[in-house]
Amino acid sequence: MTLAPWGRAAGAVVALGAGTLAYAAVEAQWFTLRRVTVPVLPPGAADLRVLHLSDLHLVPDQERKIAWVRSLASLDPHLVVDTGDNMAHVDALPALLHALEPLMAVPGAFVMGSNDYYAPTPKNPARYLLRDARGPRRTDHVLLPADRLGDALRGAGWKDLTNRRDVVEAGGLRIALVGVDDPHLDRDRIPPVATRAHRSGADLRLAVTHAPYRRVLDAMHADGADLVLAGHTHGGQLCVPGLGALVTNCDLDRGRAKGLHGWPGARPDRPGGEDSTWLHVSAGLGTSPYARVRFACRPEATLLTLVARDA
């Protein structure tokens, strides 16, 4: 029997869809390291290597991801910054700490994301086409061991920036830190500057957030941050080649869904953004366990090499 033209067309569409879905499942495991240079340090300062991790969304059986994260220690970073959403399963903590173990010997800093506090749940993917995809607050979430994760990271010497300020010495430089709890859960509070001591003599003012909501970026810019690191967006996760992200899952514009930019204006370096703060948004390493696909948006970690700006 010969298929009618419309039948052949429908079959081709189904085959194309199946092939695209299969590719997207493969791409979700195609981890890549991005390398970015940021001229943000004082003139004459030595280079500083900062490894930015975000959105691992780890489940215990993801052995390939665990091994890949462990291998990042070979980059010999001076500082590791984790911008949250590390876990996607109630039993993920031992696997996560195993993944991070070689990096926990390096100075580090962290904030939490919603998927450090609560396990992910199935969601209608059409919701993510909305400007604010959060929906009503749920009361039946399964809790994740965020407290034990925080204890382990602090025990390794990493700085907890959950609505806190701190200072870290890395690569021979003094770095003033500020961070907030997850803005996607409305937990963010920029801590007041009780003292200027934490910024005295700082070579770099680094701000950290999980979700890059505009209100948080504005506050960090006003606070004097030289560089802001964020995650949460997954770079759009399902992107259109040549167009990029369709959504950011927050109120950040799609043009800054991932990569290095300026806030509030353009950089690098600097057309129209003379007073802008550097902003790096990681596309992250994971997905929800209910949607383990990526398209035109490979899972990533980023090695930022911070170099001296022009005198």
Q: Is residue 25 classed exposed, middle or buried when 0-12, 13-18 and 19+ CB atoms within 10 A define those classes? A: middle
What separation in angstroms does the CA of 189 have from each of 2, 140, 221? 66, 25, 14
Digit-coded pLDDT (tens) for 173-195: 999 999 999 999 999 999 987 55
15 Cβ contact partners less than 8 Å away, ≥ 6 residues apart: none
The answer to whether residue 41 scores a pLDDT higher than 60 is yes
Beta bridge partners of 79: 50
1 Cβ contact partners less than 8 Å away, ≥ 6 residues apart: none
For position 275, what pLDDT does the model report?
86
**Which of the four pLDDT bands, split at 50, 70 and 90, describes residue 310?**
confident
Question: Integer distance in angstroms from the first to the last C-alpha of the chain?
Answer: 76
* 41 contacts 308 by C-beta, under 8 angstroms: yes
The answer to whether residue 10 scores a pLDDT higher than 50 is no
**Which of the four pLDDT bands, split at 50, 70 and 90, describes residue 201?**
confident
Determine if the pTM surpasses 0.85. yes
Q: What residue segments make up the domains of the chain, in order of their start?
A: 31-308
Q: Select from 111, 107, 112 the least CA-distant residue to 50.
A: 107
The DSSP secondary structure of 241-310, one letter per residue, reads: TTTB-S--SSSS-GGGSSEEEEESS--SS-TT-TTPEEEEE---S---TT----BS---EEEEEEEEEPP
The Cα–Cα gap between 211 and 13 comes to: 36
Q: How many CA atoms lie within 13 A of 244 on its CB side?
A: 11
Of the candidate ranges 50-59, 134-143, 281-290, the one whose mean pLDDT is the lowest: 134-143
Digit-coded pLDDT (tens) for 80-139: 999 999 999 999 999 999 999 999 999 999 999 999 999 998 865 545 555 555 555 555
Domain 31-308 coded CATH 3.40.640.10: no
Residue whose token pair is 């500083």: 48
Of the candidate ranges 61-75, 170-184, 271-285, 290-304, the one whose mean pLDDT is the lowest: 271-285
The answer to whether residue 267 scores a pLDDT higher than 90 is no
Element (H, E) at 35: strand 32-41
For position 269, what pLDDT does the model report?
62
Q: Select from 232, 182, 191, 208 the least CA-distant residue to 304.
A: 208
* Mean confidence (pLDDT) of the chain: 88
The answer to whether residue 291 scores a pLDDT higher than 90 is no
Residue 65: helix, strand or coil by DSSP?
Answer: helix
For position 265, what pLDDT does the model report?
84
Per-residue b/e over 93-107, b at no fewer than 16 CB within 10 Å? Answer: bebbbbbbeebbebb
Maximum distance among all alpha carbons in the chain? 82
The Cα–Cα gap between 245 and 54 comes to: 18
